[in-house]
Structure 1
């Protein structure tokens, strides 16, 4: 019997791409589960991506939980609809079960969550300390409001919030990620998280809602201990650092590179990280290559220096170009993300982004739609122009790419300078045009690829199976039909495509 259950809701917005997108380990609930386990609580993790959530499965899950049964659900805006449905099923099975929502969406939209009727508590911000105290009080049989921080609940029909705490979690008090709680046959466990937060404040990033601009990192000794476990116990040959800002402290990176080599890890595994163009140089790259870091991902976002200022990226396009070119010279595989649909963006801005991706030799690229998630500066900037479907079901940064032939939902935001069809079409066509290059296409289908930008995965064994070939054919057909539709119905989509073909 478990003391509590932690659930990670499903992302329902991937469409036919779902079969080929690498399954993400639910890291948030994992970190919390490991922390609670260290405090003496037994925790069961439920990943909705693996388990169909219905009345029967919820009955089975709740039967494994000690009374009072506590169920924590970690939600972002993109999957809050799934979270609401899960909460409703839980309450239909056991009205006495205590449902707690945490994560980004409850932090920025707490009233909305508590008005739902199926959620008993919400936890705002980083949850380790506050959720722990709440669990202790619930298990103890009484709620002492004065001892709770960053908690919301409904009392006598009114929404109540406890005092606010700005204390940030000491990441060195959080134990190593509980890899043992995940079945390696379902997940790629080749990842590590060695820092938390980011000192920058890009208008589209909702992560700062949780971590603020506080950048903290785990001690180098702890990182080496975890890498030892991943490499020597779990035999992981490719390890991705999931840090938002791995190169935020160059001295620490140099130290880690030296320690990795002393341990001989560089002979057994390769490593990939996410970085910024203004935060990495030749000296640092040289040290990283010596330690067998072989993949760098850059959030390039745009090819427009003006848009860089609009999105408050605090770096320049040229800094990204210089860093990527240098990384290629140093032997790194390079990956980049681009975002279309920022305020004031033009057709030429979007085409320049595609041209840049091709010109500087990026190995893997992804083009997404700008999404004004609540809690971001972009949300406040364009609030009056947002199209919001019930339960935020249309809020997905990949929605322009993954929607089906019969589009169900509108994009949440479209800049004044273009139509929704043009924006959605140029995003899909940018991804298509980039991978029409045979060299780029081979890298997309490479099952051995590593790095943060990996977004398409199928093993060599599965690649030749009948089921995979059918799914790939259906996916290709969907993309082709959608592309033809945009080309036939939008003049600017035709301009974008034929200019891209001529490059």
Structure 2
């Protein structure tokens, strides 16, 4: 959503489209993009490198950028793994930085200027450079996702989590960051230990947009730790009751069990929450 509308953007989601390499390459050739971005998880890096190897053969001048969790946690190692097939990487929450970077690529950018882009990973004289990282402090300033590029109505019944009550549904992030350091979770490493919040007005504006334009009937909250602020969880539930949108909601990404109590859970359930994963 942060990328300027002057740039034409298309998303090829292989979890949805399940194209063969051959079909995907044909699509990319037809589009003839200036920049290709990929966001592989650790389990996907081998197949992603194979794909990028094929892409660079058929579109040698395209700029290829890697983002996501894997490169965020291991920037130099991941960049080295993709060395022959990528130009840049971005770590962490890079909506703002990546948008500025795309604008700069449009007019040309030299190596001195590359040092100024936050969150950027790049090559300089055969060395891997990892720029200073920043995280957006005021989440309300970040534009909503370009939902028209990933219409919730087209997605399968349960892309994340095994349970739902209504379809179509959409993922939603209302806060970022988690102060804890659970060994099974990368949230603090990716989004930091300081929790940053969207305002309720901003959240419900997006929910209403999803409901009006895409007939969304359920929200899957993907926060790192939604319930850490109990008062905010209560305020969210009360707002959901007040808005009376007929929306159900759940937590496939999980909540901390020690941050919950019976009264809060009863209010959440009354407001439409039907299931939580805990950890």
Alpha carbons 1:150, 1:161 under 8 Å: kept: no
Give, in whole Å, the separation in 2 of the partners of 1:101 and 1:122. 5
Aligned match of 1:271: 249
Asked if 1:214 corresponds to 2:194, the answer is yes
Give, in whole Å, the separation in 2 of the partners of 1:83 and 1:209. 23
Alpha carbons 2:76, 2:130 under 8 Å: kept: no
* 1:396-453 C-alpha deviation (Å, 9 max, x unpaired): xxxxxxxxxxxxxxxxxxxxxxxxxxxxxxxxxxxxxxxxxxxxxxxxxxxxxxxxxx
Give, in whole Å, the separation in 1 of the partners of 2:119 and 2:217. 40
TM-score (norm 1): 0.48
Asked if 1:70 corresponds to 2:70, the answer is no
Give, in whole Å, the separation in 2 of the partners of 1:199 and 1:175. 25
Give, in whole Å, the separation in 1 of the partners of 2:69 and 2:12. 19
Tell me the SS of whatever aligns to 2:219.
strand
Give, in whole Å, the separation in 2 of the partners of 1:237 and 1:263. 14
Aligned counterparts, 1:348-367, within 5 A: none
CA change 1:97–1:238 in 2 (3 A) is same
Give, in whole Å, the separation in 2 of the partners of 1:103 and 1:113. 11
Gaps of 5+ in 1: 1-33, 300-503
Tell me the SS of whatever aligns to 2:85.
coil
CA change 1:150–1:186 in 2 (3 A) is closer
CA change 1:129–1:215 in 2 (3 A) is same
TM-score (norm 2): 0.83
Tell me the SS of whatever aligns to 1:122.
strand
Aligned match of 2:121: 152
RMSD of aligned residue pairs (Cα, Å) = 2.2
Aligned match of 1:190: 169
Aligned match of 1:356: none
Runs ≥4 in structure 1, deviation > 6 angstroms? none
What is the CA-CA distance between 1:45 and the residue it aligns to? 0.4
What is the CA-CA distance between 1:209 and the residue it aligns to? 2.4
What is the CA-CA distance between 1:252 and the residue it aligns to? 1.6
What is the CA-CA distance between 1:279 and the residue it aligns to? 0.7
CA radius of gyration, larger in: 1
- The one of 90, 98, 107 equivalent to 1:123 is 90
Gaps of 5+ in 2: 158-167
Give, in whole Å, the separation in 2 of the partners of 1:180 and 1:223. 18
Asked if 1:45 corresponds to 2:11, the answer is yes
Alpha carbons 1:114, 1:120 under 8 Å: kept: no
Give, in whole Å, the separation in 1 of the partners of 2:24 and 2:218. 35
What is the CA-CA distance between 1:55 and the residue it aligns to? 4.5
Give, in whole Å, the separation in 1 of the partners of 2:10 and 2:277. 33
Aligned match of 1:132: 99
What is the CA-CA distance between 1:160 and the residue it aligns to? 3.5
Alpha carbons 1:254, 1:284 under 8 Å: kept: yes
Aligned match of 2:146: 178
CA change 1:194–1:40 in 2 (3 A) is farther
Tell me the SS of whatever aligns to 2:132.
coil
